[in-house]
Amino acid sequence: MKKTLTAAVIIAILLMVSGCSFFDMPRNPIWDYDYSEMRLIQLEPPKEGQPIVTVYTAFGEFTAMLFPEYAPNTVENFIARVNDGFYDNKPILTLIQHEFFLTGALNDEGTQGVTSDGNLIENEYSVNLWPFKGSLLAFSGRQGFGDSRFLILGSVPFSDELAEEMSDVAMSDGTVLFPPELISAFSENGNITGAIGLYTIFGQIIDGLDVLDELLSAETDEETKRPVEEILIEKIILSEYSENRAGNTEAE
């Protein structure tokens, strides 16, 4: 059995972190956002009853809140896969140190995913969701669509030069595209800005970023970008957030 992703999938993922790709896309959805309505919900505490998942790995566990109100189709598919145990013992297929990892494929080559109806899920975008450190992003290998495969983001340095470049981007009416509070959030919370507008963001880690850091520091094969020692998503448990049992994320 082959132990690597196809070159096409690796290239597609690597394009995500190649720089400010949102500048080059002819119709990136961020140009159509109403920034006056922006609320950075990933940086807010989860709400009572909000769906959360706890992801178990050999490095430890981390917990993420999901955003069904902004990415309903993606979250519905993800929850369905969690409930049927699809992610149990799934390997991490690609890992770019400190930046992101990919998992959730149907096959070992990473070229197939799963959805409830067999069709890819069109990306769901929101002005309230951005690629901060700890974000969960849907992936399919086809730009604009997702399936059961997903990325979890680490972070790359956010330079003063990039901040200045982003602050200078304006729409045709002169409105600044990236508000100062968004640029500050990228700087303060970690980011992969190369993913802006390219993927559905459907979740955010709220506990266990230290586990993510350790996992993203794992040694990888230079050619395949796969962890040298296999890393499995041992299981994912779905529950609901409650302030009364915030430290207990496993469903009863």
- In this structure, what CATH number is given to the domain that contains residue 57? 2.40.100.10
pLDDT mean across residues, the chain: 88
Phi, psi of 64 (to 5 degrees): -130, 140
Same domain, 84 and 172: no
Same domain, 129 and 209: yes
Same domain, 64 and 131: yes
In this predicted structure, the answer to whether residue 17 has a pLDDT above a threshold of 80 is: no
Same domain, 203 and 113: yes
In a domain, 121, yes or no: yes
Number of domains in the chain: 2
C-beta of residue 155 within 8 angstroms of C-beta of residue 190: yes
Q: Is the dihedral of CA 197, 56, 187, 179 positive or negative?
A: positive
Domain of 173?
159-190
Among 138, 186, 131, residue whose Cα is nearest residue 153: 131
Residue holding tokens 């959360």?
52
Same domain, 218 and 173: no
In this predicted structure, the answer to whether residue 8 has a pLDDT above a threshold of 50 is: no
In a domain, 102, yes or no: yes
232: part of which helix (H) or strand (E)?
strand 232-233
* Helix residue ranges per DSSP H, 119-179: 160-167
Residue 7 confidence (pLDDT): 46
Same domain, 224 and 177: no
153: part of which helix (H) or strand (E)?
strand 150-153
Phi, psi of 184 (to 5 degrees): -65, -40
Average pLDDT over residues 154-164: 92
Residue 244 confidence (pLDDT): 80
Residue 4 confidence (pLDDT): 47
* Helix residue ranges per DSSP H, 17-147: 72-83
* Helix residue ranges per DSSP H, 168-241: 180-189, 209-215
